[in-house]
Amino acid sequence: MINKNQKTKGGLFDVYSLWEIEPMKAKGCWVWDADNTKYLDLYGGHAVISIGHTHPHYIAKLKEQIDKIVFYSNSVQNSLQIELSEKLASLSGYPDYSLFLCNSGAEANENALKLASFHTSKKRILAFNDAFHGRTSGAVAVTDNPSIQSPFNTGHEVTFLPINDIASVKEALKTDDVAAIIIEPIQGVAGIFSAEAEFLQQLETLCNNHNVLLIADEVQSGYGRTGKFFAHHYANIRPDIISMAKGMGNGFPIGGILISPKIEAKKGMLGTTFGGNHLACAAAIAVLDVIEGENLLINAFEVGNYLKDKLSDCSGVKEVRGEGLMIGVELESKYADLRKKLLFEEHIFTGGAKNNVMRLLPPLSVSKTEIDIFIDAFKKQTQQ
């Protein structure tokens, strides 16, 4: 018997603010809603769509894999994982690093932090003001946003420091209990702020001298988004652990960490049920095929520069930041509703960040013609 006071309908736990739009199909840089209205996607589903929606090679590879096997556990051989690690090693410039696969960005960082602590036998982590590293236990503890940390998350030993201030890092390392420094080479959620190349280089040296691991969180900035495979390549550093996720599967959930050969693996040290499953690997391999075959790093670099140039001539813009197709546009305060206007009046998706920053994170395949459509709409809405 159903108790009348009991809820009989389902429903979702209400944690997201949703636009009144439901994408039903997508192709390249475009999505269509239920009324068949077409939208230009300069948000890439939050930097996730790397090679473009429903890319034919990606779809073919996924379908082929579905017909064979979609999942078996990590207790058996899986040659797709090896193929993925080899392709990734060669494209990312880390042939001597090994790969651990998981399912999301937070999970990648969680494993990175755990591994650093295992390796150094220390537990304090240095992170930076305004950083975002995810919402699970350790990942949210190193995220500089108390409003998304529960009391359960605040038990970790974490010190937040100002970014690009090497003196404060030196001071914090004096206690000798630091396992790792975690940094986004370009902060995403904060509003697209780059760590200076010199600062990253100094962090690398300090880490090496203090038995501290350097973790580069490339969850948002990696996989070609900035015009280089990883954003830290702009600073010519080699972090000890590199975490990645968003663009890796072009929408299929997969994450991972690349791990320096100086860190020794021990059986059972890390593990996951779903990480590295057959379908996820097929998606990730297809993504790398397309990134390489279609020269998407070069496209991201060139079209990104084109977009930044065009934006810097637009009115309403205070500052344009970022590299490649990871762009932050700080708007004058009177344009606080610009993203909404672009979405509902011009049918263009963009991302947001605090302090009136618009984040542009389109598929890496976006063309200059598509950027021109956006710039025309941007000018129209800011000149009204």
Footprint of ligand PLP (CB under 6 A) = 104-106, 109, 132-134, 184, 188-189, 217, 219-220, 245
The residues with which 53 forms a beta bridge, in sequence order, are: 28
Question: Minimal CA–CA distance to 328: which of 231, 197, 186, 196?
Answer: 186
Measured CA to CA, the distance from residue 259 to residue 239 in angstroms comes to 9
Please list, in sequence order, all residues whose beta carbon lies within 8 angstroms of the beta carbon of residue 339, skipping any fewer than 6 positions away: 350, 352, 358
From the CB of 119, what's the least distance to ligand PLP, in Å? 21
Measured CA to CA, the distance from residue 97 to residue 149 in angstroms comes to 32
| Tokens of residue 122, six digits | 């220390």
From the CB of 105, what's the least distance to ligand PLP, in Å? 2
Q: Which one, 119 or 246, has the nearer CB to ligand PLP?
A: 246
Q: Which one, 227 or 247, has the nearer CB to ligand PLP?
A: 247
The residues with which 160 forms a beta bridge, in sequence order, are: 127
Q: Which one, 326 or 371, has the nearer CB to ligand PLP?
A: 326
From the CB of 131, what's the least distance to ligand PLP, in Å? 8
From the CB of 133, what's the least distance to ligand PLP, in Å? 5
Q: Which one, 133 or 347, has the nearer CB to ligand PLP?
A: 133
Q: Which one, 120 or 187, has the nearer CB to ligand PLP?
A: 187
| Tokens of residue 70, six digits | 């979609």
Burial of 132 (0-12, 13-18, 19+ CB in 10 A): buried
From the CB of 355, what's the least distance to ligand PLP, in Å? 17
Residue type, 308: K
Q: Which one, 105 or 324, has the nearer CB to ligand PLP?
A: 105
Q: Which one, 109 or 356, has the nearer CB to ligand PLP?
A: 109
From the CB of 209, what's the least distance to ligand PLP, in Å? 26
| Tokens of residue 159, six digits | 């010190």
Measured CA to CA, the distance from residue 4 to residue 264 in angstroms comes to 58
Measured CA to CA, the distance from residue 241 to residue 238 in angstroms comes to 9
Q: Which one, 112 or 375, has the nearer CB to ligand PLP?
A: 112
From the CB of 255, what's the least distance to ligand PLP, in Å? 6
| Tokens of residue 132, six digits | 């975002």
Q: Are 356 and 335 in contact (CB under 8 A)?
A: yes
User: What is the number of the residue whose Cβ is closest to ligand PLP?
Assistant: 105
Question: Minimal CA–CA distance to 296: which of 364, 362, 358?
Answer: 364
| Tokens of residue 260, six digits | 């320096």
Nearest-5° Cα angle at 195, 157 to 303:
135
From the CB of 102, what's the least distance to ligand PLP, in Å? 10
